[in-house]
Amino acid sequence: MGEFRRIKAALIGSGAISEKYLTNITQKFHVIDMVGCSDLIPERSAHRAEQFGIRQMTNEEILSDPTIEIVVNTTYPLSHYEVTKAALLAGKHVYTEKMLAVTLEEGIELCELAKEKGLQLTTAPDTFLGGGWQTARHMIDTGLIGTPIGALGVCIRSYQDHGDTYREPKSFIFGGGGGIPFDMGGYYLHNMINLLGGIRRVTGFIQTRNETRTYTNPRHPKFGQEWKVDSPNVMFGTLEFCSGALGSLIVTSESSMFDTPKFEVYGTEGTIRLFDPNDYSGKITLQRNVDPEPVEMPLLFPYNDENRGIGVADMAYAILNGRKPRDSFEIGLQAFEAVHGIWKSGQEGIVYEMKSTCERPAAVPLTALNGSAYETQLND
């Protein structure tokens, strides 16, 4: 454990998701000194700066300030590569919202650049650091379900976007650079890697359904006009982990929910049923082979509410203590490559062998802390 000091950080991209990051970083994680924010739309960064008592800055001011060590990239996915690369070239550690980039080649380039520069690069989601997922990790590590043999993740949503609003379809959902396999699939894959370890190979299918759509709300100014979906919206994938465990992942935005989201882990001695990986915690049920009924498990770890930004705090402690962040770029790249690999598998009729490798992230230590002292668990 190194000498404590606060790490200065700034945020680029002051849109909707930035409010959650800035709220948590400024109120929960003392290790980070959030000094400023920027946005291509100055009015947005001005609002966030006033809201959180930080400086309104430009991207150039953030990247040229030698006292700022971490850049939090909460821009739109199409801008992630450009902003992250510029920050790395400026000598900053980077925490970026998902996805790492648009193409796999861009993602690999960013990871190689971070290694070359000796910088930390981590990517959302960081929900696996939440109390519920760390409780599940502890259950597996202590043998409550025996040897893990597999996991199932199911995410069924309806992104038809023809409700009562005038909003335009979100570009990172329907346009190039995203789609639900990347947008939501990352939550499931990061948590599967946390629980089961790195992925060896993948197979499956990715499709785009209902490619041409029509504005169906008569109050919308574009009522009756067609628009095109340029991103995949159906994924059925199978994963083989380096441990020998198997996984199934189903993600689509083209149907309706029924008993989903679903996340289960199966072992030789029992099953753990979990909650939406978009959340940091939730109900955990254990069904052991020797028990007649399932039991709800107590949560053993903190951070059980909305905690976007915990990955930034863990990175700050990693910088201070000379260790790898738990949410390392190896995990982000594995999750990103796995989706691309499932896509390629379906296109070429192959089992895709993963090129990237990663290990299970270190578990958060189980300690008897409470209140603001919770943060100390990350200081290892």
Instruction: Answer for the pair 122, 216: CB distance below 8 angstroms, yes or no.
Output: no
CATH no. of 128-296 = 3.30.360.10
Domain ranges (residues) in the chain? 7-123, 128-296
pLDDT at res. 343: 95
DSSP string spanning 10-31?
EEE--SHHHHHHHHHHHHH-TT
Distance CA 110, CA 100 (A): 8
DSSP-based three-state secondary structure for 324: coil
Q: Phi and psi at residue 51, in whole multiples of 5°?
A: -60, -40
Distance CA 122, CA 312 (A): 8
- Encoding tokens for residue 114? 């971070």
Instruction: Answer for the pair 215, 162: CB distance below 8 angstroms, yes or no.
Output: yes
- Report the chain's terminal Cα–Cα distance, integer Å: 6
List the 32-38 sheet strands across, edge first.
Answer: 55-56, 32-38, 7-12, 70-73, 93-96, 121-123
Residue 326 burial class via C-beta count within 10 angstroms: exposed 0-12, middle 13-18, buried 19 and up: buried
Question: In CATH, what class is 7-123?
Answer: alpha beta
pLDDT at res. 161: 56
CB proximity list for 124: less than 8 A, separation 6 or greater: 95, 96, 97, 98, 186, 308, 311, 327
- pLDDT tens-place values along the chain, 380 residues long: 667 899 999 999 999 999 999 999 999 999 999 999 999 999 999 999 999 999 999 999 999 999 999 999 999 888 999 999 999 999 999 999 998 999 999 999 999 999 999 999 999 999 999 999 999 999 999 999 999 999 999 999 887 655 555 555 555 567 666 788 988 999 999 999 999 999 999 999 999 998 888 877 777 788 888 878 888 899 999 999 999 999 999 999 888 877 777 999 999 999 999 999 999 999 999 999 999 999 999 999 999 999 999 999 999 999 999 999 999 999 999 999 999 999 999 999 999 999 999 999 999 998 755 556 678 788 88
- Encoding tokens for residue 286? 């254990």
pLDDT at res. 20: 97
Distance CA 380, CA 376 (A): 8
Distance CA 167, CA 296 (A): 40
Strand pairing report for 70-73 and 7-12: parallel
Query: b vs e for 56-95, b when ≥16 Cβ sit within 10 Å of the residue's Cβ?
Result: bbebeebbebeebbbbbbbbbbbbbbebbbbbbebebbbb
CA 234 vs CA 46, 329, 339, 340: distances in Å: 38, 26, 11, 13
Phi-psi region of 202 (alpha: psi -120 to 50; beta: other; left: phi over 0): beta
Distance CA 72, CA 21 (A): 9
The reply to whether domains 7-123 and 128-296 share a CATH topology is no
pLDDT at res. 367: 78
Distance CA 241, CA 254 (A): 28
Angle among Cα 274, 187, 88 to the nearest 5 degrees reads 145
- Encoding tokens for residue 209? 């359904």
pLDDT at res. 214: 81
Distance CA 175, CA 320 (A): 39
pLDDT at res. 96: 98
